[in-house]
Amino acid sequence: MNTKIKFLGHEFKNPIIPASGCFGFGYEFADIYDINILGSISLKGTTLEGRYGNPLPRIAECQAGLINSIGLQNPGVDKVISEEIPKLSKVYDDLVIANVGGHSVYEYVETVKKFNDCDKVFAIELNISCPNIEGGGMAFGVDPDTAYNLVRKVKKVAKKPIIVKLSPNVTSIVEMAKAVEAAGADAISLINTLVGMRISLRTRKPIIAVKKGGYSGPGIFPVALRMVYEVSHAVNIPIIGMGGISNAYDVLEMMMAGASLVMVGAENLINPTACKDIIEGLNDAMEEYNIVDLNDIIGKAE
């Protein structure tokens, strides 16, 4: 069985990548299993300056998933490069994907420039779709013209491939995808979380301190699958699919919809060995459906 995938010039041993925000900076999981089995790792969302994030509480459980409003808590790009990535390099041999967020075009551009000279980073994922910060993120991710302008300016300074992470909270996901492709994006990842909320019956107030947050988990898988399918038919750049993936069969389905790689998010928070379990289950799932090479099924849902 061949699980190797070539993506933007780099060969991945398999298509499984822990999604940004659900795997920390990676090394935290090395005590649980050998993370070198992973195709790659999308690092925790990084901003130009350190961020505490949103006030507590930030997490609310719900059926078929959870809602989070972390708010891009991170130590800032300089410390990520000087401290977090070296820690990861001690336990993970392959290249990784940096995830960049921000409040302004300037922040995105300057953060991307910092990652240009980081050899451990293979590509940069622009998070223009986070529903958990005010004044940025979602503002870039819901308007095609704004997204186009951001990606175009980032591409002018980037020395690494740019992957743009799209929000499902838009009128037309295809329009957004076409806009970032036109701006020069090398690839697209989707979907980020839906916007949701929970209310405490005891206090009669929203559970999340900032009232709403990003809903993720198995409940969003059909939505993510449909959007990946639509976008794969509308653009000519590769796609990373994510949203509610919890087992090897979900991976095959997402790849048939058009994804070359697959990111696993909330499942890591429920089951710390989720990615390991999915990778170990891939060969059996492939054999069950007579799949010899994963490359043969990408975009084959017709």
Identify the pLDDT of residue 276.
98
Distances in whole angstroms, Cα of residue 140 to Cα of each of 160, 165, 179, 260: 21, 11, 12, 25
Q: 130, 99 in Cβ contact below 8 A?
A: no
Identify the pLDDT of residue 135.
45
SS (H, E, C) 238-290: CEEEECCCCCHHHHHHHHHHCCCEEEECCHHHHCCCHHHHHHHHHHHHHHHCC
Identify the pLDDT of residue 139.
65
> Please, what are the domains in the chain?
5-297 (3.20.20.70)
Identify the pLDDT of residue 131.
47
Identify the pLDDT of residue 136.
45
Identify the pLDDT of residue 141.
82
Residues of the chain with pLDDT under 70: 130-139
Residue range 95-143, pLDDT digits in tens = 999 999 998 899 999 999 999 999 999 999 999 975 444 444 456 888 8
Q: pTM of the predicted model, to two decimals? A: 0.94
Q: Which of 22, 62, 130, 275 is catalytic?
A: 130
Identify the pLDDT of residue 174.
98
22 an active-site residue? Answer: no
